[in-house]
Chain A
Amino acid sequence: DVKVTQSSRYLVKRTGEKVFLECVQDMDHENMFWYRQDPGLGLRLIYFSYDVKMKEKGDIPEGYSVSREKKERFSLILESASTNQTSMYLCASSSTSSGRAYEQYFGPGTRLTVT
């Protein structure tokens, strides 16, 4: 079974803090993604990575950065957290080499509240 784990289920941070969200997958997937999910807006792609040390901007990268030093780990960084970054953050992974890039495996999500 593919497993995608995220470091925290719930996180409360103050405005201006630097926030790290960690994601680890155990199936040797090449592709990893960070989304945020908000009511009425659905899943919005923040950043993604097709390989170690590679990253590409998604639809809403402003205020975020990412790091992928190892194939299994993809970190999302909020450089200076703001209240409008309060959201559910979901990490996902997929494999292009398997021919099943259409199937993304998601973690359980991190509910981040910025006060």
Chain B
Amino acid sequence: QKEVEQDPGPLSVPEGAIVSLNCTYSNSAFQYFMWYRQYSRKGPELLMYTYSSGNKEDGRFTAQVDKSSKYISLFIRDSQPSDSATYLCAMKDNQGGKLIFGQGTELSVKP
């Protein structure tokens, strides 16, 4: 079993839809939970991060962490064609700088 599981999609939604992206994990030592966004032919960039449990909101994006269920989510409200990208969840414990990435979900938002 992989430490981090993410549905690779692809996921296609109409413009304006609410998008939900999810990851599950098995390592209870993870404390940092990140979402990276990767546009085509580019490297990933950090979109949001959460430390420990709870919610975090940034504009149209909301990240949720439920440590009791070992489940994290990223919600995108009023999705736009410019949100079309691959979204990777990533996690880290309190030691060092190594991240564990999910497989990434490819999202396409159609005008």
User: A101, B43: Cβ atoms under 8 Å?
Assistant: no
User: A109, B43: Cβ atoms under 8 Å?
Assistant: yes
Q: A42 touches which one: B32, B41, B98, B103 (CB < 8 A)?
A: B103
Chain B interface residue number, banded? 20 to 34
User: A106, B32: Cβ atoms under 8 Å?
Assistant: no
Q: Is the interface of A mostly helix, strand, loop or mixed?
A: loop
Residues of A close to B98: CB separation below 8 A: 33, 45, 48, 58
Residues of A close to B75: CB separation below 8 A: none
Assuming the contacts A4-B43, A31-B97, A109-B43, asked whether A40 and B49 have C-beta atoms less than 8 A apart, the reply is no
A107 to B, closest residue via Cβ: B43
Show 9 A/B contacts (Cβ-Cβ < 8 Å), sorted by A. A42-B6, A42-B104, A45-B98, A96-B97, A101-B96, A102-B99, A103-B34, A103-B46, A109-B41
Interface residues of B (CB under 8 A from A): 6, 8, 32, 34, 41-46, 49, 88, 90, 92, 96-99, 101-104
Q: Other than the known A45-B98, A102-B99, what 10 A-B pairs have Cβ atoms closer than 8 Å? A: A40-B8, A42-B6, A42-B103, A43-B88, A96-B96, A96-B97, A101-B96, A103-B34, A104-B97, A104-B99
Interface residues of A (CB under 8 A from B): 4, 30-31, 33, 40-43, 45, 48, 50, 58, 90, 92, 94, 96, 101-104, 106-109
